[in-house]
Amino acid sequence: MKTWLRDLSGAWIFYTIFPRFPCLKPSFKRIARFGPWIGLIIGSLQAFIWFLLTSLHWPTTSISLGVIAFSILATGGLHFDGLMDTADGLAAGNSRCLEAMDDSRVGASGVQALLLMALLQISALIKLNNMSLFALPIASFWGRCAPLLAISRFKYLRNRGTASFHKGYIKGWKDFVPAVIGFAVLCTGFILINSKLTASIIFALTIGILPTIIIPESLGRRLGGHTGDSYGATVVLVETSSLIISALFLETI
C-alpha cells in the first residue's frame, strides 16, 4: 500500500501543478498506472466547478469555457502541448515527424488542432448542459486510461525523452488495476447520485472504451510508436471523443 501511495503522489506531481502530498515521499517509477485516478480527480473538480457556477447562475457557455480552462491550468497545459506537437509532426510527414515534434515552435497544424479540440469540447458541453456533471469525470477518466494502452502496446520512439521511463516500468495487466478500480468508483458514484439516469450514464461510460482503444492504437500505427507528445495527444483526443459521445447519448436535464 505504501508503494501505491508513493506512486500516486508522484503521479499527482507529474500530471498536475497542485502541491505535493504532505509527509509522503513521491516515487516516479510506475506513475502511469495512476493516470486514470488523476483524471477522475480532475474531472470531479471540473464537475464541482460546473455545479458551483450553475448555482451562481452563470450561463452554460461561460461555464463550459471555465471548466476547460481549469483542466488546462490544472495540468499545466501538458496534454494540449502534446497534441499540438503531435499534429505538427503528422503534418510534416514520416521523414520529418520527430524533428517537427521536437521543434519548440508551434506550427499551423498544431494551432488548428488546439482550436478544433477546444471548440469540439465546448460544443459538447453546451449540448450536455447539466449532464456535464457526469460527462466530465467520464471523459477525464478515459482520457488518462488511453496512454496506458499506448505505453504497453508500442515502442517509445525517442531514446531520451521526458516520458521514456514509462515504457521501462510498465508491467502489463497489473498496471490496469487502478483503472478498473476507478471505473468501479465511477459506476458506484453515478448510481448513488442519480439512480434514475443509471442506464444512460453507464452506457455513456462504457462506450468510452471505444476511443480509449482506437485512438492510441491508430496513432501508434501512424507514428510507428509513441512519444510523450503523442501520449498527451491521446489524452485530449479521447477526452474530446468521450464528451462528444456523451453529448450524443445523454439527454439534457
pLDDT single digits (tens) 77-98 = 999 999 999 999 998 888 788 8
Nearest to 110 by CA among 139, 141, 77, 64: 77
Mean pLDDT on 184-209 = 72
Quote the pLDDT of residue 80. Answer: 94
Distance between terminal CA atoms of the chain? 40
Which residues on neighbouring strands pair with residue 226, listed in sequence order?
156
Total of domains in the chain: 1
At which residue does the C-alpha cell 442519480 appear?
194
Average model confidence (pLDDT) for the chain?
Answer: 86
Quote the pLDDT of residue 11. Answer: 81
- Do the domain assignments include residue 23? no
Which residues on neighbouring strands pair with residue 156, listed in sequence order?
226
- Do the domain assignments include residue 156? yes
Q: Is the pTM of this model over 0.85?
A: yes
- Do the domain assignments include residue 22? no
Quote the pLDDT of residue 186. Answer: 76
- Do the domain assignments include residue 15? no
- Do the domain assignments include residue 172? yes
| Nearest-angstrom CA–CA distance, 33 and 12 | 12
| Nearest-angstrom CA–CA distance, 143 and 139 | 6
Domain range for 161 is 33-249
Q: How many helices (H) and strands (E) does the chain have?
A: 12, 0
Quote the pLDDT of residue 198. Answer: 63
- Written as nine digits, the cell of 241 is 471523443
- Do the domain assignments include residue 91? yes
Quote the pLDDT of residue 208. Answer: 83
Residue 20 three-state SS: coil
pLDDT single digits (tens) 114-153 = 999 999 999 999 999 988 988 899 899 999 999 999 998 8
Nearest to 187 by CA among 134, 131, 132: 134
Neighbours of 199 (CB within 10 A): 9
More confident call, 53 vs 29? 53
- Do the domain assignments include residue 7? no
pLDDT single digits (tens) 165-189 = 777 777 777 778 888 888 888 777 7
Quote the pLDDT of residue 171. Answer: 73
- Do the domain assignments include residue 65? yes
Q: pLDDT at residue 61 above 90?
A: yes
